[in-house]
Amino acid sequence: MESKVNVFDPLDMSNYKIEKLPKLDKSPFEKWMARLGFPLAAIAFVVLYFFVDISFLNNIDPSSLADDAAKRFAAIGAQDFTRINYAMLAIFAASIVLWITEPIPNYLTSLIVILAIVLTGVTSDKVAYAQLGHPVMWLNILSFILASMLVKTRVAKRFALWFVLKFGKNATMVIFSFIVINIVLSAFISATTAKAAILLPIFMVIAAIYGATGGENRNNFGRNLVLQNLFQINIGASGFITGSGANLLAGALIAGAMGWSAFSFQDWFVAAFPLCLIIILIGWFVGLKIIFPLKESEKKPSIEGGMERLKEELKGMGKMKTEEYKAIAIFVGVLALWATDKQHGINQTAVAFIGAVVALLPGIGIVKWNDVDIPWHLLLFSAGAYTLGAGLEATGLPSTMVSALFDNFGIDAGTPFWVLYVILTASMMFSALIFQSKTMRALIFVPIAIGVAQKFGYPILSLAFPVALLCEHVYVLPFNSKPAALLYTTNHYSWSDTFRYGMTMMVISWLMILVWGETVLNWLGYTNGLL
């Protein structure tokens, strides 16, 4: 009796499902970090809360603080103010250690943060627990409902296949076609990992068609296709405030400091989308022409009839179904309402509510609750981040620490705006090499930028908004984001490959935010220019 041998078919999309990809094991360094995480976090908390005497915090001039912090200082007195600040500083430091080293899951760290903030009296339990019901949290939940609609009806997959087949006439244009695909998906899907999961089987098959199957069969076409998709998945999200939870958090922090109910989708889009598009196009050119130039042999399909398999995949989906037309209609309607929020006054969360309700309505909608994929562990992590943000706001810690540190080092009001702009944007950009969460980076650096702006009397938006625009630069190393970790397991590139391309694009992107501050952000009234 003949035994059947299972032969791997590189053009079978089912081979590239996430559950079939190898898991990325922690490196020895990461394992040591995880072992040290709990002790380091505990030491940081105990030392900062009980033993450290930061003397300059006891000599703060209320007139040097932001208005809200100064009012709290006057209301409760220096001694109580300092105690609360110590508590918040200790919780903040311990949580950062736990989130970076990951001895426990991020969502569990968030639950500990919420509990610690309540027990130390930084905020009331009502305020701390209410962050799970924050409007931005609702927007995240509703966005996952709407994204599930696109996945369940397979509209996203049909669009990606159709676009590649329609416009990907050669190797260069195939890679270019994913720019459009990623930007369209970014407008509606706020989870970058979800976008990676949708597109991964498609670009893996295309890579195989052009002779790149990973491992020993790596080539520059595969490196470009996978690394540029990683770059586009992240940077595409930066063009929309709804592009990721980090953008939403940054917008909420800025809106809170400005006294707004929400940061406008339209305002973010007008300032951020052109920058997003320019950076992605530069990334396409740098990858194809400079870092990973294609050989002549890589510009032509190496598997005969390979593109026909994609056509068969698209044909196998059949004709457009009623549910798909409904999904597109809801998609376009929600996006149109988001894009015109300043005209009709309905905020992003309410618009998402409308879309989700329509999508779930029996008889009219196209998804049932059991079809919805909501990653509650990510939402709990976000809730912890928002609670930490509420604690920072309640204590005025960012503006207090900025004021105290700057006074201590003799940095006075005569510091030029461009110096502050350069320091803050560089800190935000290159912190992505260390931090594993863009949400955490938004939580750390946006409040600092707000505090610096308040300290020196500059408009909050002039420093906080440029910093917020850099949230999505998390693509240099495999541990910098979930999509980076996911795509590294495809084995299409090495650490040196992703570092070369990623660092190049990170430096270029930082230079672009400097140019943007001098030009577009100046023209739109966010800054007065850097020079």
pLDDT by 10s per residue, the chain, length 531? 444 455 556 666 666 665 666 666 677 877 888 899 999 999 999 999 988 776 555 555 555 554 454 444 444 444 445 678 889 989 989 998 998 888 998 889 999 999 999 999 888 889 899 988 888 788 878 888 887 887 788 887 888 888 888 877 788 888 888 898 899 888 877 778 778 887 888 888 888 888 888 777 888 999 999 999 999 999 999 999 988 888 988 998 899 888 887 789 899 999 999 999 999 999 999 999 999 999 888 888 776 666 787 788 888 888 999 999 998 899 889 888 988 888 888 888 898 899 999 999 988 888 888 888 787 887 888 888 888 888 887 887 777 777 777 766 666 667 889 999 999 999 999 988 877 678 888 888 998 899 888 888 899 999 999 999 999 999 998 878 888 888 888 888 998 999 999 999 999 999 999 999 999 999 999 998 888
Cα-to-chain-centroid distance, residue 439: 6
SS3 217: strand
**Contact, 204 vs 313, CB < 8 A?**
no
- Residue 54 backbone phi and psi in degrees, to 5: -90, 90
User: Is 94 in the same domain as 218?
Assistant: no
Which residues does residue 214 pair with via DSSP β-bridges, in sequence order?
217
Which string of b and e fits 186-219 if b means at least 16 CB within 10 Å? Answer: bbbbbbbbbbbbbbbbbbbbbbbbbbbbbeeebb
- CB proximity list for 128: less than 8 A, separation 6 or greater: 114, 117, 118, 387, 390, 391
Residue 36: name the closest of 108, 103, 104 by CA. Answer: 103
State how far the alpha carbon of 111 is from the alpha carbons of 100, 115, 116, 380, 488, in Å.
16, 6, 9, 7, 30
User: Is 91 in the same domain as 171?
Assistant: no
DSSP annotation of 318: -
State how far the alpha carbon of 48 is from the alpha carbons of 117, 124, 427, 440, in Å.
15, 21, 24, 20
User: Is 232 in the same domain as 344?
Assistant: no
Q: What is the structure's pLDDT at 286?
A: 96
In degrees to the nearest 10, what's the CA dihedral of 375, 377, 383, 389? Answer: -110
Cα-to-chain-centroid distance, residue 338: 19
SS3 108: helix
User: Is 315 in the same domain as 169?
Assistant: yes
Residue 185 included in any domain: yes
User: Is 363 in the same domain as 236?
Assistant: no
Residue located via tokens 């970790």: 485
Residue 413 included in any domain: no
Residue 453 included in any domain: no
Please compute, for residue 449, the number of CA atoms within 13 A of its CA located in the half-sphere on the CB side: 33
User: Is 272 in the same domain as 229?
Assistant: yes
Residue 524 included in any domain: no
User: Is 265 in the same domain as 357?
Assistant: no
Residue 4 included in any domain: no
User: Is 33 in the same domain as 141?
Assistant: no
Please compute, for residue 211, the number of CA atoms within 13 A of its CA located in the half-sphere on the CB side: 13
Burial of 166 (0-12, 13-18, 19+ CB in 10 A): exposed
Which residues does residue 217 pair with via DSSP β-bridges, in sequence order?
214
- CB proximity list for 475: less than 8 A, separation 6 or greater: 230, 231, 234, 235, 481, 483, 484, 498, 502, 505
**Contact, 42 vs 94, CB < 8 A?**
yes
User: Is 77 in the same domain as 165?
Assistant: no
State how far the alpha carbon of 495 is from the alpha carbons of 215, 485, 499, in Å.
13, 11, 6
Q: What is the structure's pLDDT at 443?
A: 85
Q: Rounded to whole angstroms, how far apart are CA atoms 252 and 291?
A: 38
Residue 530 included in any domain: no
Q: Rounded to whole angstroms, how far apart are CA atoms 528 and 405?
A: 26
User: Is 51 in the same domain as 70?
Assistant: yes
**Contact, 517 vs 417, CB < 8 A?**
no
Considering its fold, how many domains does the chain have in total? 3
In degrees to the nearest 10, what's the CA dihedral of 112, 115, 117, 120? Answer: -120
User: Is 194 in the same domain as 308?
Assistant: yes
- What is the biggest distance separating any 2 CA atoms in the chain, rounded to whole angstroms? 89
Residue 444: name the closest of 112, 45, 124, 93 by CA. Answer: 93
State how far the alpha carbon of 444 is from the alpha carbons of 52, 260, 383, 408, in Å.
21, 20, 15, 21
Range of the domain at 351: 134-153+321-374
Residue 204: name the closest of 396, 62, 14 by CA. Answer: 14
Amino acid (1-letter code) at residue 290: I
Residue 469: name the closest of 434, 500, 432, 416 by CA. Answer: 432
The tens digit of pLDDT for each residue in 210-233 reads: 888 877 788 899 999 999 999 999
Residue 248 included in any domain: yes
> H helices of 396-437, where?
397-408, 417-430
Q: Rounded to whole angstroms, how far apart are CA atoms 511 and 517?
A: 10
- CB proximity list for 193: less than 8 A, separation 6 or greater: 482, 483, 486
Amino acid (1-letter code) at residue 29: F
Residue 360 included in any domain: yes
Amino acid (1-letter code) at residue 77: G
User: Is 69 in the same domain as 199?
Assistant: no
